[in-house]
Amino acid sequence: MARATEPTQLSLFDVAPPADPVPAVPRGDAAPSAPPAAAPPPPPPALRHPQAQREVLLGGHRVGYALRRARRRSIGFVVGPEGLAVSAPRWVGIAEIEAALQSKAAWVLRKLHEQAERQRRQQALRIEWRDGATVPFLGEPVIVVLDARVSGTVLDAGAEALPGIARLVLRVGLPEHATPQQIRDAVHGWLQRQARRIFEERCRHFEARLGVRMTRLALSSAATRWGSASADGSIRLHWRLVHLPLASIDYVVAHELAHLREMNHSPAFWDVVRSVIPDVERVRRALREHPLPPDD
Q: Can you tell me the distance from the alpha carbon of 110 to that of 188, in angstroms, rounded to the nearest whole number?
A: 35
Q: What is the pLDDT of residue 166?
A: 47
Show the beta-strand stretches assigned E in the chain.
Answer: 9-11, 21-26, 54-58, 61-69, 74-80, 83-88, 134-137, 140-146, 153-157, 168-172, 216-220, 227-230, 234-238
Confidence band of 291 (pLDDT split at 50, 70, 90): low
**What does the pLDDT look like over 163-185, one tens digit per residue?**
545 478 999 999 999 999 999 99
Specify whether the CB–CB gap between 13 and 273 falls below 8 A: no
Q: Can you tell me the distance from the alpha carbon of 256 to that of 237, in angstroms, rounded to the nearest whole number?
A: 9
Query: How many distinct helices (H) and strands (E) make up the chain?
Result: 6, 13
Looking at per-residue pLDDT, the higher value among 123 and 226 belongs to 226
pLDDT (mean) for 111-122: 78
Q: What is the pLDDT of residue 125?
A: 67
Q: What is the pLDDT of residue 221?
A: 87
**What does the pLDDT look like over 36-89, one tens digit per residue?**
455 555 545 457 888 888 899 888 888 999 999 988 888 999 888 888 999 999
The contacts of residue 84 (CB under 8 Å, 6+ apart) are 47, 49, 63, 64, 65, 66, 77, 78, 108, 112
CATH code for the part of the protein at 134-288: 3.30.2010.10
Lowest mean pLDDT among 6-10, 27-31, 275-279, 288-292: 6-10
Confidence band of 19 (pLDDT split at 50, 70, 90): very low
Q: What is the pLDDT of residue 17?
A: 36
Looking at per-residue pLDDT, the higher value among 211 and 35 belongs to 211
What is this structure's pTM?
A: 0.65
Confidence band of 158 (pLDDT split at 50, 70, 90): low
Confidence band of 198 (pLDDT split at 50, 70, 90): very high
Q: Can you tell me the distance from the alpha carbon of 272 to that of 276, in angstroms, rounded to the nearest whole number?
A: 7
Which residues partner with 83 through β-bridges?
80
Lowest mean pLDDT among 23-27, 89-93, 104-108, 248-252: 23-27
pLDDT (mean) for 224-230: 88
Q: What is the pLDDT of residue 283?
A: 92
Q: Can you tell me the distance from the alpha carbon of 273 to that of 279, in angstroms, rounded to the nearest whole number?
A: 10
Ordered by start, the domain boundaries in the chain are 12-123, 134-288
Q: What is the pLDDT of residue 43?
A: 46
* pLDDT at residue 96 greater than cutoff 50: yes
Mean pLDDT (the chain) is 81
